[in-house]
Amino acid sequence: MHSHLFYLLDTPGFTNFIEQFGYVGIFLWFISFDQFTPIPEEISLLIIGYLSAHGVFNPLIASVISLFGFITVDIIYYILSRKGSSFIKKKTKDSSFLVTKYKEILKKHTTKGFFILCFIPRMRMFAPILAGSMQLQFKKFLLIDASVLALFTAIYILLGFIFNRSLSAVAAKMKGVQDIIFFSFLGLAAIVFVVMVIRKKKKEKRNL
């Protein structure tokens, strides 16, 4: 059962990478490959939590390493944005509307803006980029960013850890109703099929 779930959670390249390089692999993933792949960071953290529940990683150490990876990347984005890097301009070129929208939020409610962006999948990078473009004081940026990321990292790794722990209990409870669910599904499929056939025949009669 666990192997099947692991297969479903497995993201191409990610799991093999961090299993091969260990804690260093987690850090390297978040500061490099994570920036160019479509894999949401939330999925990566869930898998780390899942692997931690299997004893591959210590969840606390894995969380700290992941956090340092996120902060490192955010500092780089912040500095590049503050200097007006062409790389940052290209990265935000297709999201000008979102940049304008969240820039206003960050100006009025900086901490709230960081929280919102951090918990929207694939939008987290905009927080340090906007902070840099707004010339937000580095100490303030780092304090808010680190606090939000600590919560973000802890939540998703914990969810991955808990998900694995509760898997066996859920599977045991579901065992007795698997047949009911299966035959109910077949019955529903049969009803849908019959309805579709009847509607088709009625339509053919109308055309005649």
40 membership: H or E segment, kind and range:
none
Exposure of 161 by Cβ count < 10 A (0-12 exposed, 13-18 middle, 19+ buried)?
A: buried
**Per-position pLDDT tens, the chain of length 208:** 444 444 444 455 666 777 678 899 899 889 888 887 777 888 889 888 888 888 889 999 999 999 999 999 999 999 998 888 887 777 766 666 667 777 788 888 888 889 888 888 778 888 898 888 888 999 999 999 999 999 999 999 998 888 776 654 554 555 555 445 545 655 676 676 566 666 655 655 565 5
Instruction: Check: pTM over 0.95? Answer yes or no.
Output: no
* Alpha-helical regions (H) of 83-177: 86-91, 96-108, 110-118, 126-133, 138-175
19 membership: H or E segment, kind and range:
helix 14-31
Could you tell me the residue ranges of all domains in the chain? Answer: 2-175, 176-208
Which residue carries 């859920």 as its tokens? 170
